[in-house]
A = this chain, B = another copy of it.
């Protein structure tokens, strides 16, 4: 990888690759991070589509530092790689990234095993053999790559609208705090998001379920609900 370095905490201004950055969540994250002045790299199966998405971001954030590449190239561009593809595409994408991802990189898996992947309801989820999409990802990435699970509950439309105010939490699951902390720092570069340490990667089994739960609430309330935990101490858990 070009950004060959240790856990990403050491390089706060490294580019942020977003694999599947042409999708709703990836695009929304790109808008927010580009708006915060961070370098963003959008990955897509087709480099041309990644370039188009980068253009779209520039339409909203004129001074965005953003580029589009094929997924494999994009994944080499930064130490913390976000995977925002639909669950249906997760395994194939990770297979294709085997030669691109390198030890010491962190892969932030944002996929959610919605039953919609097999034309079921978006308020239902699929059982994943490994327990969660994130644990499936951990099984598939090359040795030395660490998977963190996050960003299941922030609505893509809210992210994509740079004028929409956020005020919600992002649950971060991963086995080691030293891998979660740099991910949390990136998430908190988006104004109005607070990263909450939800425990080891296996807690993704629950965190991923929050998406269909919020979808169930949203259809009833015609809303884009977000999650917030109350009664947490004010101290910075990532320090």
Question: Could you list which residues of chain A lie within 8 angstroms of chain B, going by C-beta atoms?
Answer: 123-125, 158, 167-168, 171, 196-199, 202-203, 205-207, 209-210, 212-214, 216-217, 219-233, 237
Q: Which residues of B contact A220 (CB under 8 A)?
A: 197, 199, 237
Contact of A223 (CB < 8 Å), options: B125, B203, B228, B232: B232
- A-B interface, 3 closest residue pairs, ranked by CB to CB distance from nearest: A199-B216, A206-B209, A206-B213
Q: How many copies does the complex hold?
A: 2
**B225 in contact with A227 (CB, 8 Å):** no
Q: Are B224 and A198 in contact (CB under 8 A)?
A: no
Do residues B225 and A231 form an inter-chain contact, with CB atoms below 8 A?
Answer: yes
Contact B230 A217 (CB under 8 A): no
Contacts A206-B213, A212-B206: A233 and B229 contacting too (C-beta < 8 A)? no
Q: Are B229 and A229 touching (Cβ within 8 A)?
A: no
Chain B residue with minimal CB distance to A214? B229
Instruction: Tell me, rounded to whole Å, the shortest Cβ–Cβ distance linking A50 to chain B.
Output: 30
- Bound CA–CA A123/B232 (angstroms): 18
Residues of B within 8 A of A227 (CB): 227-230
Q: Which residue of B lies closest to A229 (CB)?
A: B225
List of B residues within 8 angstroms of A207 by Cβ: 213
